Amino acid sequence: MVSHKVFVAIILLNLYIGVQSIFYLFGGVIMTVLFAMAFLNGPRLLDWANSPPHLQFNKYVLTGYRPISSVQDCIKSLFYLHNELGNIYTHGE
C-alpha cells in the first residue's frame, strides 16, 4: 500500500511538470511571435531628425520612430518592430 506522503509527492510532481509544460508552451509561442514580428514589413521607420516634433523628447533614441499614422496604422503597428513597441506592451500607452 502506498503511503499518504508518497501519494502527495506524486501529485505535486505531476502538478509541477504540468506547470512547467505550460510555461514552455507559452514561451515557445511568444518567441515565435517575436521572431515573426522581426520579419513583418511595416512602414519605413524614421530617424530622430525626421520624426514628428512631439516624439523628439529623447535625443538618445536615434531610430525606429513610427511616422504619423491613422487608427488602422496604429493597430497594424502592434505587429512589427519599432522603438515604441515595448511601451505599448508594458505600459498600454
Per-residue pLDDT tens over the stretch 7-24: 778 778 787 777 777 767
> One-letter amino acid identity for 22?
I
CA–CA separation, 30 and 11 (whole Å) = 29
Q: Are 24 and 56 part of one and the same domain?
A: no
Displacement of CA 37 from its chain's centroid (Å):
9
Residue 67: pLDDT band with limits 50, 70, 90:
confident
| Same domain, residue pair 48 and 81 | yes
Q: What is the pLDDT of residues 9-63, one digit of tens each?
A: 877 878 777 777 776 777 777 777 766 666 667 778 888 899 888 888 888 888 8
Q: Which residues contact 73 (CB under 8 A, 6 or more apart)?
A: 43, 66
pLDDT of residue 84: 73
Burial 5-24, CB ≥16 within 10 A → b, else e: eeeeeeeeeeeeeeeeeeee
Residues 35 and 48 in one domain: no
The strand pairing partners of 65, in sequence order, are 46
Question: Which range marks the domain in which residue 92 is found?
Answer: 42-93
pLDDT of residue 88: 58
pLDDT of residue 93: 44
